[in-house]
Homo-oligomer: A and B are copies of this chain.
Amino acid sequence: MSEIIGNLKKDLAFVAYIDRLKNVIRVNALFDGSREENTAEHSWHAATSALILAPYANEDVDIDRVIRMLLIHDLIEIEAGDIFAYADPEVLAQQEQLEIEAAEVVFTQISSPQGENLRALWDEFEARITPDAKFAKAIDRLLPIFSNIYNGGEIWKQRKVSLAQVQENVAIIREGSSRLADLVNELVLMAAQEGLLRT
């Protein structure tokens, strides 16, 4: 009984801790362009979009596992912060190391075996090998492309993002959903024609 109460207090403390994700600001604006989004609301958008777009996955996916992945995929940003998707390769590699260290800090705060289960789910997401992880990554990559197209791509323009860079992310979407990738690719080509992307 005392162990149960100990776990409960630990897990409730974690619920308070993860509130900090609402203060992690992404290099990405809302669809209406009014402000930059934070990682908590992005995680909600990703998980809910996965539920809506589940019928378009390439392979049979367990959509509830995909949703769990997307809920927790960016928790490590509480410790490691967010980095721009099109940052320099060295910066991205450094960030990857920071995120692995952050995972040790984040997932060990949850009582066992939940903490280990969520850590394993995050590792699976990052590895992008299973159908569930491929679809989760596809949704994660889709949203900022879609929002930039919607809001006129101010972030893309400011950061001089190129069509080729975005198409690398379309390739990652394709691993999870070729139907989504086809449609997004069309939109991206139009956006490039309209000057949102460097060509």
Q: Which residues in A have some Cβ–Cβ distance to B below 8 Å? A: 4-5, 7-9, 11-12, 14-16, 18-23, 30-32, 34, 37-38, 40-41, 43-45, 47-49, 51-56, 64, 67-68, 71-72, 110-111, 114, 118, 143, 146-147, 150, 179-180, 183
Q: Give me 5 A-to-B residue pairs in the complex whose CB atoms sit less than 8 angstroms apart, sorted by A's number.
A: A41-B44, A43-B48, A47-B67, A55-B111, A67-B68
Q: Nearest 4 pairs between A and B by C-beta?
A: A44-B44, A64-B64, A19-B31, A40-B41
Give Cα distance in the complex from A179 to B7, angstroms.
11
B56–A71 CB distance below 8 A: no
Majority secondary structure, A binding face:
helix
Tell me, rounded to whole Å, the shortest Cβ–Cβ distance linking A24 to chain B. Answer: 11
A14–B47 CB distance below 8 A: no
As for how many copies of this chain the complex holds, the number is 2
A147–B45 CB distance below 8 A: no
B114–A55 CB distance below 8 A: yes
Chain B residues within an 8 Å CB radius of A18: 45, 48-49
Chain B residues within an 8 Å CB radius of A41: 21-22, 38, 40-41, 44
Chain B residues within an 8 Å CB radius of A44: 21, 40-41, 43-44, 47, 71
Q: Which of A4, A18, A48, A68 has the most CB of B within 10 A?
A: A48
B67–A19 CB distance below 8 A: no
B56–A8 CB distance below 8 A: yes
Tell me, rounded to whole Å, the shortest Cβ–Cβ distance linking A122 to chain B. Answer: 13
Give Cα distance in the complex from A146 to B8, angstroms.
14
Q: Select from chain B the residue with minimum beta-carbon distance to A18.
A: B48
Chain B residues within an 8 Å CB radius of A114: 52, 54-55
Give Cα distance in the complex from A7 to B179, angstroms.
11
Give Cα distance in the complex from A38 to B32, angstroms.
15
